[in-house]
Amino acid sequence: MKRNSRLSLALHTLGHMARDPEQTRKSADIAAHAGTNPVVVRRVLGSLREAGLLVSESGHAGGWRLARAPQQITLADVYLALDERLVAPQADTEEHNCSVEHALHARVSKVMAEVEQTLLAKLSETNILAIRGSADEGMGE
Amino acid sequence: MKRNSRLSLALHTLGHMARDPEQTRKSADIAAHAGTNPVVVRRVLGSLREAGLLVSESGHAGGWRLARAPQQITLADVYLALDERLVAPQADTEEHNCSVEHALHARVSKVMAEVEQTLLAKLSETNILAIRGSADEGMGE
DNA sequence: AATACGCGCAACTGCTACTGTTACAAAATA
DNA sequence: TATTTTGTAACAGTAGCAGTTGCGCGTATT
């Protein structure tokens, strides 16, 4: 994967957390399960913490935990927390030299904005309990 | 831009072509107008030719032309011709080791497929006449 | 036939973004 | 105090893409 690796890692981890919200997990264990590096895990989960989805603690009994009930965390929350946007939107500081560019930008950005809203609406319909799987394996649960 | 540069170049060029479908344009002129390189133009427009949207000819009076009426070329045609996909979809040859990954992939890919369809539907509603601008400037028209 | 013109294509060079890795400081606990 | 775990900065490796150069091929002009 390329663009979705952060999102995948985040959702995968949240899926496991949704099973056992009380358990505190350390980044090393999460990384081992996901086949990546603890620092990468901290980077990604750090974004989720900034968005208020997770809490982290240092020290002996430290690690990562859900900041609220799994029912109250949707896929849209995660998507927004990671700043993933389908259409690279923001600061469109480009000069539109000719009228074709004007018309083009107007049409395309309108469509993209609508699609982005559609995506967010669909992602909002699913919370992370829905992706917690069923069997009992993984990360010591 | 990053991911949209090919799409922008393609649509920009088609917008101009929609104004004067008879005129044949050479890649050097198109590149000069778009602020890029003739080879880049040929690469991008080459994809549109493979999709049957454009024709190109060598030699003295050679260059690029629309393969059919501008009313019959929609933004969706261009999007598909360039193989742009919102969700990197195709060969999903990844091992889904745990049930969370299963559930996650199922949910996310379903949402993404639906959004992709939404996008294509919206893009299909606009043909390249709509992005041809209005004023008379650019590329010698 | 010879020449000029424009596309087709391959190869190479930066540039950018991202993941992975190492190293170290800060916080919390035994 | 010593240990554990996060937080963060710095750097290497990788992949994708735009840009560039060079050359071959087809086509129109002369």
DSSP A71-113: GG-BHHHHHHHTT--SS--S-------SHHHHHHHHHHHHHHH
pLDDT over threshold 90, residue B2: no
What is residue B129's predicted lDDT score, i.e. its pLDDT?
Answer: 97
Given this model, what pLDDT does residue A93 score? 58
Residue B88 at interface with chain A, using a CB cutoff of 8 Å: yes
Q: Which residue has the higher pLDDT, B89 or A13?
A: A13
Query: CB-based contact (8 Å) between A61 and chain B?
Result: no
What pLDDT shows up at residue A1?
37
Q: Is A92 exposed, middle or buried (0-12, 13-18, 19+ CB in 10 A)?
A: exposed
User: What does the pLDDT average to over B26-40?
Assistant: 97
Q: What is the pLDDT of residues B103-113, one digit of tens each?
A: 999 999 999 99
Chain B residues with CB under 8 Å of A119 CB are 111, 115
Q: What was the pLDDT predicted at B92?
A: 56
What the block records as the tokens of B123 is 């893009």
Q: What's the pLDDT score for residue B76?
A: 97
How many contacts, defined by CB atoms under 8 Å, are there between A and B?
109
Name the residue closest to the C1' of D15 by its CA: A2
Please give the average per-residue pLDDT across A120-127, as a whole number: 97
Class of the CATH domain delimited by A5-131: mainly alpha
Q: Report the SS3 class of residue B37.
A: coil
Which of B4, B94, B100 is best to mutate for the A interface (most A CBs within 10 A)?
Answer: B100
A127 or B136: which carries more pLDDT confidence?
A127
Residues in B closer than 8 angstroms to A87, CB to CB, are 4
Least confident of B21-25, B62-66, B84-88: B84-88
For residue A2, the chain B residues in CB contact (below 8 A) are: 88
Q: What are phi and psi of A127, to 5 degrees?
A: -100, 170
Distance A60 CA to C27 C1' (A): 10
Nucleotide of closest approach to B61 (CA, C1'): D28
Cβ atoms A19, B99 nearer than 8 A? no
Query: Which range among A123-127, B80-84, B132-136 has the greatest average pLDDT?
Result: A123-127
Contact between B133 and A100 using a beta-carbon 8 Å cutoff: yes
Q: pLDDT by residue (tens digit) across B7-27?
A: 999 999 999 999 999 999 999
Are B133 and A8 inside 8 Å of each other by CB?
no
Mean pLDDT of chain B: 89
Give the residue extent of every domain in chain A.
5-131
